Homo-oligomer: A and B are copies of this chain.
Amino acid sequence: MSSKIESILDNLKAIKGVHGSALIERFGLIKGQALPGWIDPESLAAMVTLILKASQRATKELEQGEFLDAIIESKNGKILFTEIKGNVLAVLTTVEAKLGIINLKLEAAKKSLAAEL
């Protein structure tokens, strides 16, 4: 695991409302993570592959084109998924998290991560 990737993910974790994040390869391999102890990285990786399966269907059968990102909103929080060079960055947030601010910082993190991949 690249320590540069980990430090970018650590920085994301410091944003208000962000529980943590992980960078997951298309087939479920975890490339880096900065997650709180109560989150199982393997479960998050399994979710990423399901989301990508759903979006692959969208691409093929609903003419949606390449996957860019996704948000799943549940009662206790949000999970953001963003594509970076064939990998997916998953970010877990609280319910109250301000997506505008998080998305701005996410864009910067995406660029830094893309440079490491």
Please give the residue numbers on chain A whose beta carbons come within 8 Å of chain B beta carbons, in ascending order: 38-40, 43-44, 46-47, 50-51, 53-55, 57-59, 61-77, 79, 92
Contacts and interface: CB of A to CB of B under 8 A. Distances in A.
Contacts of A71: 70-71
A79 B57 contact: no
Contacts of A77: 64-65
Q: How many copies does the complex hold?
A: 2
Contacts of A59: 74
A39 B70 CA distance: 20
Contacts of A73: 68-70
Given A55-B72, A72-B67, A72-B70, A62 B44 contact: yes
Contacts of A43: 57, 61-62
Main secondary structure of the interface of A (DSSP, over half): mixed
Contacts of A64: 72, 74-77, 79
A74 B55 CA distance: 8
